[in-house]
Chain A
Amino acid sequence: MLNVSHLTKKYHRFVANDNLSFIVNDGETAVLAGPNGAGKSTAIKCIAGLLRFDGEIEICGFNNKSIDAKKILGYVPEIPAPFELLTVWEHMEFIARAYRLEDWEKRAEELMSRLELTDKRDKLGKELSKGMQQKISICCAMLIEPKVVLFDEPLVGLDPHAIKELKAMLGEMKKNGTTIIISTHMLESVEDIWDKVFIMMNGKIEAERTRRFVEESGENLEELFFNITEKKQTGADAQ
């Protein structure tokens, strides 16, 4: 479970995240949606423990910067950052060693096979395309079998097969009770996997919807998204 309470992140006078509070339960998939600059990636990085912030973030009851939280947290960054001089397989080995994983080899093979990295096993990080590097990031995050996993624009740069496979993996993780948070500005890319959506604009959560609410009310999510984001944008322009 992920519990974000009064998260505020400022860069000098600019408020990137303004008092965000939300909960994502076990087995739920939440989407942070919003246009460029809405504060989605900043929120994801705060949750991953990469940025300083005001407020509290708990991962399965642990403070997000604690070692206990790090053990169960997976993070797929927006821009993949593999180690240039490690092979694909050595990335798996490094994560397994750093997280003190046992019997990880079979799972690593399986992840690599699903994301079509098996034949790239001995390729160095610097020799891979951006898409391949993104696949390594995903494998690294999945290898630890996280209880909470954060994806920052995960589908950008992936080929259709990898997108299909990643969506299948997300479904499996959800069944196993993993909490999933995905940041994206392309709602259609996650329309069949979300349970909760938080629409962000100017660092704030402007709307929160559950799948059940949307299905029962017949509300058009895309329309809601544009109503919020374009109205705000026009207002900002007018000012």
Chain B
Amino acid sequence: MNSILYLLRKTVKNEILDTLRHPLKFILYAFVAVSMIYGAVRGYTAGDDLGNSEIFSDPRLLSGAYLAVLFFISIPIMLKGLSSGTSFFSLSDVNNLFVAPVSPKKILVYGIGRQLASMLVLVVTFAAYGGMIIKMFRVTVSQAAVLIIGIALMLILVQLVTLMIFCLASTHPIRAKVMKYFIYGMAFFALGTVIIYSFTKGISVESIFSAISLPMLEYIPFVGWMHGFVFGIMESDLTRIIVFGVLTFLSGISGIILLKVTRLDFYEDVLSQAESYQEFREAVREGKFSDKVMFGNKEIKLRKKGINKGRGASSIFYKHLLEGGRRSRFMFFNINTFVLIFVALVIGFGIKQAKSDIEPTIIYLSAMIILAYVQFFFSASGDWVKELTKPYIYLIPDGAVKKLVMAAATGIIKPFTDGIITFVILAFVAGGQPVDVITAALTYGSFGTLYIAANVLAQRLVGIDSTGGIFITFYMSMIVLTLLPGVVIGLVVLSTMSGSYGFIAATLLGAPLFIWNMIVSAGIFIACRNLLNNTE
């Protein structure tokens, strides 16, 4: 154990020293910390608008959202533990620690402990939203603290449960299969219960709220128990505190007991996972998202063979279409599209519920702004970013702007298709003017182009091989800088014309924004054509 403690001590010490030696890194961490504290305080002091909404003050929404968060953080970790418990270890652990005369159990505890420490970041992130939660859901400070502590406890519990799952299933393929079905079953049970209940009671916000807060959901192992325990404390329900507290405690303690009595041999399982995890870490560090890294060795069926179209730069675009088709059967319609539709519907139903006589254009305006923000998180790694990591795009004998546009084309098209699908579906809920639907879809799409252009600009300014933190800071600054004039123009148009055309406010703000986004993006593409002159 001494060697593990030494390793931990030195790792922590060197990490701190390294941060202090790199002022930029230190400033970045400090900036993130200050932003989080500011966010927490600001959320608490300025959340009145949200707090006034009836929809958020319904405790059933908080209950359902909290259960969803618990599922979201637990299921992936449990499934990972099942497949070998293994993102806990790095390749340097495998190469140095596994061959050392240290007990495998101690090494496993070390791996899980380290994983837990990294999870604390998640808790801190949730804590930053504490202020907002208090205002939005009208809970007390102590109730918000209970919610956040509950998430921290869930992270500990899920690690212990993972340990239990791993001990039981690591050498028994049938048990592993059963547990996999069990974990999926938990998620499907929750989802199925909510859907069936909502349908049987007739789809409405009321029935959905009742469905997501059904008491029976608290009987789902681990996740439901933790939910019951936390909400038991919040609602001072002694029976729930005792029942779910004991169940939670027992499931955690079972992991520790099983570790003590099981003979573990997990090195072989860990090895290949650690190698691919190492590859993944390096790729993330370098900003390279290769398909091998993202999809591992998942078998891909060659439904269509050959690029079949394109000459010169356009062959890059047709290659991307072929690759996209291999990643997913519906290249331009994927999980992101579902997320967008879901968010748009929540906005649509939510605003209508809060104020039934509201102008539909306000719904489109809100959805357009919120979805454009959501899209930022989807735009991190497009095909064109992957292309920059290989030499071919630099070597192809064709014009630089053409190559850049062709490499970015799939990333430009996708938000437009997402926008059209999402806003057309939203139109069924919101009604309103067709011009608002079209403008909102196009404006949303133009944000995709602008994000790519801002990325190109940031790459041009700080270099393709710059480190992640510096790049992200520049990238976000570029987005703000390039977007700002368009927003100002849009707001001017909106304020001057809203008197006569207030019923199409989304169009008044969106149309100038769309035109600006496309013009400024085209300008950036032309100005940054030299990006493809070298790999630096």
Residues on A facing B (Cβ under 8 Å): 45, 48-52, 65, 67-68, 70-71, 73, 75, 77, 81, 83-87, 89-90, 93-95, 97-100, 122, 124, 126-127, 140
Contacts and interface: CB of A to CB of B under 8 A. Distances in A.
29 contacts: A45-B535, A48-B391, A48-B394, A52-B534, A70-B395, A73-B395, A75-B395, A81-B389, A83-B323, A84-B292, A85-B291, A86-B307, A89-B306, A90-B305, A90-B306, A90-B319, A94-B392, A97-B312, A97-B318, A98-B310, A98-B312, A98-B313, A98-B316, A98-B397, A99-B396, A124-B302, A126-B290, A126-B292, A140-B392
A112 B326 CA distance: 24
Nearest to B292: A126
B424 to A, nearest CB: 30
A196 B292 CA distance: 40
Interface in B316-330: 316, 318-319, 322-323, 326-327
A44 B290 CA distance: 25
A85 B390 contact: no
B533 interface: yes
Nearest to A121: B305
B325 to A, nearest CB: 9
A126 B395 CA distance: 22
Contact of A90 (B300, B322, B390, B394): B322
A73 B391 CA distance: 13
B311 interface: yes
A140 B318 CA distance: 18
B235 interface: no
Interface string B508-536: 00000000000000000000000001111
A84 B292 CA distance: 6
Interface in B395-419: 395-399
Given A50-B391, A98-B396, A84 B291 contact: yes
Contacts of B392: 94-95, 98, 140
B394 A50 contact: yes
Chief secondary structure at chain A's binding surface: mixed
Query: Which 7 residue pairs of A and B lie closest in terms of their CB atoms, listed nearest first?
Result: A97-B315, A84-B291, A70-B397, A85-B323, A71-B397, A126-B292, A81-B390
Contact of B399 (A48, A67, A140): A67
Nearest to B315: A97
Interface residues of B, number: 35
A132 to B, nearest CB: 14
A95 B398 CA distance: 12
Nearest to B533: A65
A122 B302 contact: yes
Nearest to A49: B394
A63 B397 CA distance: 13
B390 A83 contact: yes
A51 B536 contact: yes
Contact of B533 (A49, A73, A84, A85): A49
Contacts of B390: 81, 83
Given A45-B535, A86-B322, A94-B307, A75 B391 contact: yes
B185 to A, nearest CB: 32
A81 B387 CA distance: 10
A75 B536 CA distance: 17
Nearest to B307: A93
A50 B533 CA distance: 7
Contacts of B389: 81
B530 to A, nearest CB: 9
B318 to A, nearest CB: 8
Interface in B280-319: 290-292, 297, 300, 302, 305-307, 310-313, 315-316, 318-319
A146 to B, nearest CB: 10
A18 B285 CA distance: 30
Interface of B: 290-292, 297, 300, 302, 305-307, 310-313, 315-316, 318-319, 322-323, 326-327, 389-392, 394-399, 533-536
Contacts of B290: 84, 126
A183 to B, nearest CB: 15
A84 B291 CA distance: 6
A52 B48 CA distance: 54
B305 A87 contact: yes
A68 B395 CA distance: 11
Nearest to B393: A98
Nearest to A127: B297
B535 A50 contact: yes
Contacts of B311: 97, 100
Max count, chain B CB within 10 A of own CB: residue among A67, A73, A93, A127? A93
A224 B2 CA distance: 51
Given A70-B397, A85-B323, 6 more contacts: A73-B395, A86-B307, A94-B392, A97-B315, A98-B397, A126-B291
Contacts of B536: 51-52
A52 B536 CA distance: 7
A166 B406 CA distance: 34
Contacts of A70: 395-397
A98 B398 CA distance: 8
Given A83-B323, A99-B396, A93 B533 contact: no
Nearest to A124: B300
Nearest to B294: A84
B319 A86 contact: yes
A124 B315 CA distance: 18
Given A51-B535, A100-B312, A126-B291, A94 B395 contact: no
A128 B390 CA distance: 17
A126 B397 CA distance: 26
B328 to A, nearest CB: 11
B398 A67 contact: yes
B528 to A, nearest CB: 15
A122 B305 contact: yes
Contacts of A124: 300, 302, 326
Contacts of A90: 305-307, 319, 322
Contacts of B533: 49, 52, 65
A97 B391 contact: no
Contacts of B291: 84-85, 126
A93 B394 CA distance: 18
Nearest to B291: A84
Contact of B397 (A51, A77, A86, A99): A99
Nearest to B403: A98
Contacts of A126: 290-292, 297
A98 B290 CA distance: 21
B397 A97 contact: no
